[in-house]
Amino acid sequence: MRRIAVLSLHTSPLVQPGSGDGGGMNVYVRELVSALAQAGGEATVFVRRSDPTPPETVEVEPGVTVVHIEAGPFDLSKEELPGVVDEFADQVAERLIAADLDGNGYDALLANYWLSGVAGHRLKHELELPLTTVFHTLARVKAETGDLEPQRRLDAEAEVIACSDVILANSQEEVHQLVDLYGADSTRIEVVPPGVDHAFFSPGFQGGARDAVGLGPGPVLLFVGRIQPLKGVDVAVHTLAKLDRSDARLVVVGGASGREGPAEERRTRCLVGDLGLTDRVHFVQPQPHHSLSTWYRAADVLVMPSRSESFGLVALEAAACGIPAVAAAVGGLRTLVDHGRTGYLVEGRESADYADHVTALLDDPVLATEMAAAAAERSWSYTWSATASRLHRICDDLASRSLVDCT
């Protein structure tokens, strides 16, 4: 059995994805630790308390515990969190040391996102625990698409990458980014893609799904994700406008996220009005994760025009439900979407290109059915049990290695 301390400073696996800072990382952490526990391991997830309501310790399921750490005021924005990383690390260190003294110590650290990576880097040296890091997004990749991040994040990521004993990459594309943009040691990178819960996400009857969510007949384009400039919901709106289908609709499932989120949502709603699409674009509040499967099944095509995606869990969930995607040719989406077989990849951000591919699917039901079947079949290559098994193997390998020393 391996006992892993999982660091998730800025967002909790207990928080509903789709708004605030909750997104694919929440799902990743929750599903991964659950799979680890089911495989016989044990995981404690340490998160910063951002809400006074939950108790300090939450037993999620056998082998999975979430611990809320007091570090700074509850209502800090993500941009303010670097200032409380040391306080967070101090509190986590106390708990890890106490567990070790009680004979129930931890075998490894697993840090999610750069903020947790900074805390994990410090804890690694103080407690002599191997550090595995998952970045989820990388500042230098975001910078290439116009989403500039502060220099302190760039510097911190470089330091954490240089000292991580293992870096988990979601795809081969992310391996190239880590090596080319950060000079990472490729021998310390493991490609461990996320999975999908096929018990929830599987093909189903579209008519029943539409009845369940209140959608009638006619083509449905679906956008799932946080509303922020990075995700490109405006491209999805323009795509709908360019379709020669007055009966087509766009459903946007998700809420404003981050400092720019509220302004981006207002801008998107104004765009919908300016294009005369008010009756054809439906904004839906963030949904419980297991409920998303109904929205996927109700759709004809997923539109995912992100400027960057480390992996693109939404595309995998849609595929598992038998929904082809028209997605940006970026990051992990290049791996997830098999162009021309399970969906289409779009180079650039021209909505006309998205509209052309959406039209191809809507105008050819046979093609759409073939792509749906291929997408669902391919999704079975991704399971959380396989992800957990690979992580267990990595932890076993780390136990016999000397730790990377960056001092």
Q: What gap in Å lies between CA 48 and CA 264, rounded to an integer?
A: 27
| Tokens 């040691």 belong to residue | 185
Q: What gap in Å lies between CA 339 and CA 320, rounded to an integer?
A: 16
Tell me the domain boundaries of the chain.
Answer: 3-195+384-399, 206-379
**Predicted local distance difference test score (pLDDT) of residue 19:** 55
Q: What gap in Å lies between CA 67 and CA 54, rounded to an integer?
A: 10
**Predicted local distance difference test score (pLDDT) of residue 5:** 97
Helix axes 351-363, 233-242, angle to 10 degrees: 60
- Cα 62 to the chain's mean position, in Å? 24
DSSP string, 82-107: GGGHHHHHHHHHHHHHHHHHTT---S
Three-state DSSP class for residue 200 = coil
- The domains spanning 3-195+384-399 and 206-379 adopt the same CATH topology: yes
**Predicted local distance difference test score (pLDDT) of residue 396:** 86
Q: What is the reported pTM?
A: 0.91
Q: What gap in Å lies between CA 346 and CA 344, rounded to an integer?
A: 6
**Predicted local distance difference test score (pLDDT) of residue 17:** 65
Nearest to 375 by CA among 314, 323, 305, 312: 323
CB 394 within 8 A of CB 36: no
**Predicted local distance difference test score (pLDDT) of residue 98:** 95
CATH number of 206-379: 3.40.50.2000
Per-residue pLDDT of the chain (407 residues; tens, 9 = 90+): 589 999 999 989 888 665 555 577 888 999 999 999 988 889 999 999 988 888 999 999 999 999 999 999 988 988 899 999 999 999 999 999 999 988 889 999 999 999 999 999 999 999 999 999 999 999 999 888 777 889 999 999 999 999 999 999 999 999 999 999 999 999 999 999 999 999 999 999 999 999 999 999 999 999 999 898 989 999 999 999 999 999 999 999 998 877 788 999 999 999 999 999 999 999 999 998 888 999 999 999 999 999 988 889 999 999 999 999 999 999 899 999 999 999 999 999 999 999 999 999 999 999 999 999 999 999 999 999 999 999 888 988 888 889 998 87
CATH number of 3-195+384-399: 3.40.50.2000
CB count in 10 Å sphere of residue 52? 7
- Cα 43 to the chain's mean position, in Å? 19
- What does the block give as tokens for 134? 């998952």
**Predicted local distance difference test score (pLDDT) of residue 205:** 96
Q: What gap in Å lies between CA 362 and CA 366, rounded to an integer?
A: 10
**Predicted local distance difference test score (pLDDT) of residue 102:** 87
Q: What angle do CA 284, 285, 287 make, to 5 degrees?
A: 105
